[in-house]
A = this chain, B = another copy of it.
Amino acid sequence: MDLESSKQKFIETWGLLGSEWGINRSVAQVQALLLISTEPISTDDIMAALTISRGNANMSLRQLLDYGIIYKKLVAGDRKEYFVAERDVWKWAVKIAQMRKQREIDPVMKVLGELKMETKKVTSAEGKEFYKTVNDIEAFTGQLCTLSDKVLNSHRGELLLKILKMVM
């Protein structure tokens, strides 16, 4: 299998993984393409490589820029915008994790907190059971959140390294 096929396989696999985890396939594929490009590439390059439309390419790039896991790169003597991927796996993985936690988990934690407030004083057995269930989930998720915050915010992933050393 030649290099081009291997690259293709990487892009496809990455796109599939993304869509299984709620990340748009094109977005994941654009990141994959940028990760394996040896030099900055333009929107037109991306459209050609992935055979996607200009609109799709543009929106995927914007989202990746929002995530902070790709960068714009100016090429001297060219008006086009070029893009490069963050190469440090730790850095981009952390950014994705932080963003998803903040956007999707934190709001759920907030709701769980509200539900506890609303039902704290319910005296029926049913109400007490509900409170307990919500409390259990909130406590468990809260611990994971605190842990992940510490790991994700630790300087250069030192905390993760420490944990890895400890358990392996």
Contact = CB atoms under 8 A, between A and B. Distances in A.
A144 to B, nearest CB: 8
Given A137-B89, A159-B167, A9 B111 contact: yes
B115 A10 contact: yes
A108 B17 contact: yes
A66 interface: no
Dominant SS at the A interface? Answer: helix
B111 A13 contact: yes
Copy number in this complex? 2
Nearest to A128: B38
Nearest to A159: B167
Contacts of A146: 168
Contacts of A143: 164
A22 interface: yes
Contact of A1 (B19, B118, B162): B118
A164 B104 CA distance: 23
A61 to B, nearest CB: 19
**Which size bracket describes the interface of A in this complex?**
35 or more
A59 to B, nearest CB: 19
Nearest to A134: B10
A81 interface: no
A76 interface: no
Given A6-B118, A6-B119, A93-B140, A35 B124 contact: no
Contacts of A20: 22, 104
